[in-house]
Amino acid sequence: MQGVKNTIEKATDNITRFKSFDSVYGVARVSKIKYWFWGIITVLMLILFLPWTQNIRARGKVTTLRQEERPQELNTIIGGRITKWFVKEGDFVKKGDTILQLAEIKDDYLDPALLQRTREQLDAKKDAVSGYKGKVGTVAQQIDALQQARDLKISELNNKLSQQLLKIQGDSNDLQAASNDLKIKLEQYKRQKNLYDAGLASLVQLEQRNQAVQDATAKKTSASVKLSNAQQEYLRIKLELNGEQQQYLEKISKAEGDRFQSLSQIATSEGEISKLENQYMNYNIRSGQYYVKAPQDGQIVQARKSGLNEIVKEGEKLVEIIPTNQQYAVELFVKPVDLPLVANGQKVRFLFDGFPAIVFSGWPTASYGTFTGNVVAVETSVSENGLFRLLVTEAEGEKPWPKELRMGTGAAGFALLKDVPLWYELWRNINGFPPDYYKPKNKPETTKK
């Protein structure tokens, strides 16, 4: 019959006596789904208002704060041949311990008595300098003696010149006197001749006057010859004076030349002495480089050479030393966009590789197994990987870093920034905004009056 619905309730007299109907059909039940829905919504809304610590995530590895505490290569200063190893890989050494011994391979240093022979050459050069200095002193005395002899000779010749001038003056006076006497005798002779011609004087008297004229003429001639000889002697003494001066000048100049030559030889020898001393010190220092020693306490690893008689070049790496006394730090690399958000003194949370941890980046206090550090250096130049490098050290008063840390251990860091609501952090990430610009507040220093 159409329009009539047949139900199971009509076919059954009493459905309440069947338990399966209570389990399958929930028509008579009161639904609690809406309570759960609004409860979950309320809890989610409350969670959105929970505080969330913004952070910057970065990866890095364990290093040291100071450069000398990082693994370092031990290189040889001189080239040579390995003759003996005193350590093996993995050994711990102290500062100054011998690592290996080298032997020479260059023919310039093969002489076992090289230092002694160089010292002998140096001593010989010093003796030569002493001889040159003695020669300089002797030549100086010789120059002084020549100068004194020159002064005496010149003084003697000057005295002779003065005496000769006086003699010239005397001879000149004698010549003048003889000339005057000759004039007088000639006048007397003329008057006597006139008297003789007048018959007033005898021939004997005339001859006497003539004889007097002849004598006066002879005296004048003799005086003239003496004056001429005196003048010639004066010129000779003057020439002798010039010759003596020239002669002594040549002797003194020659002695001065010998002196300057000796001084030049002294300067050259002193330069050679300095060169030999430098060479001797180089040989001496080189002889001390045959034993390669540890620069500091550490562990020997990564030996590049093995066995004996292997040749090493200058500056070649022999082994690597990992210092034992280290102040660990972590180097992190952050993106350029996050660099303005990082400052010295900022706290950073770490998760070290190999150490289990439970991390809630937004709730650092709820995390377990993390460690705390402080930023001590922010490099202002970009690294080869295009990121900026940070150095973080262990924070005082916080959980100490594990003693089992080793160089190169990986680390994941969280630089803690500003506390914001969770809904704001979700909204920021959805829109792709960077974290808020934030600088840690330094504690105010208490000033004492």
Query: CA 266 to CA 264: how far, in whole Å?
Result: 5
Report the DSSP beta bridge partners of residue 55.
416
Q: Does residue 264 lie in a domain region?
A: yes
Q: Is the same domain home to 127 and 256? A: yes
The band of 54, judged by pLDDT with boundaries at 50, 70 and 90, is: low
Give the residue from 287, 304, 337 where a domain finishes: 287
Residue type, 278: N
Q: Do 57 and 91 share a domain, yes or no?
A: no
* Residue 273 resides in a domain: yes
Mean pLDDT for the stretch of residues 326-350? 82
Claim to verify: residue 185 and residue 307 sit in the same structural domain: no
Identify whether the C-beta of residue 411 lies closer than 8 Å to the C-beta of residue 332.
yes
Measured in whole angstroms, how far is the alpha carbon of residue 24 from the centre of its chain? 95
**d(Cα 390, Cα 347) in Å, to the nearest integer?**
12
CATH code at position 314: 2.40.50.100
User: 348: closest CA among 266, 429, 412?
Assistant: 412
Residue 191 and residue 283 in one domain:
yes
Asked if residue 348 is part of any domain, the answer here is yes
Task: Indicate if 155 and 137 belong to the same structural domain.
Answer: yes
pLDDT at 449: 36
CA 419 to chain centre: 51
Digit-coded pLDDT (tens) for 288-329: 888 999 988 988 988 888 778 888 888 888 899 988 888 888
Specify if 175 maps to a domain.
yes
Q: What is the pTM assigned to this prediction?
A: 0.55
Angle at 418 between CA 412 and CA 422, to 5 degrees: 90
CATH of the domain at 385: 2.40.30.170
The whole-number pLDDT of residue 94 equals 92
- Listed residue (106, 449, 424) closest to 282, CA to CA: 106
Is residue 274 one of the residues assigned to a domain?
yes
Residue 417, in any domain of the structure:
yes
Please indicate, yes or no, whether residues 366 and 303 belong to a single structural domain of this protein: no
Task: Name the domain count of the chain.
Answer: 3
pLDDT tens digit sequence for 419-447: 667 677 677 777 666 665 555 555 444 43
Domain match, 307 and 344 both:
no
Are residues 207 and 341 located together in one domain of the fold?
no
Whether residues 341 and 406 fall in one domain: yes
Domain's final residue, options 287, 313, 341: 287
Range of the domain at 333: 52-65+327-431
Cα distance between residue 326 and residue 285, in whole Å: 31
Q: Taking residues 124-132, what's their average pLDDT? A: 89
- What's the CATH number where 183 sits? 1.10.287
Residue 15: band (very low, low, confident or very high) from pLDDT cuts 50, 70, 90 = low
Residues 138 and 243 in one domain: yes
Q: Does residue 388 sit in the same domain as residue 423?
A: yes
CA 332 to each of CA 260, 329, 356: distance values in angstroms, whole numbers, following the listed order: 71, 10, 20
Residues 245 and 331 in one domain: no
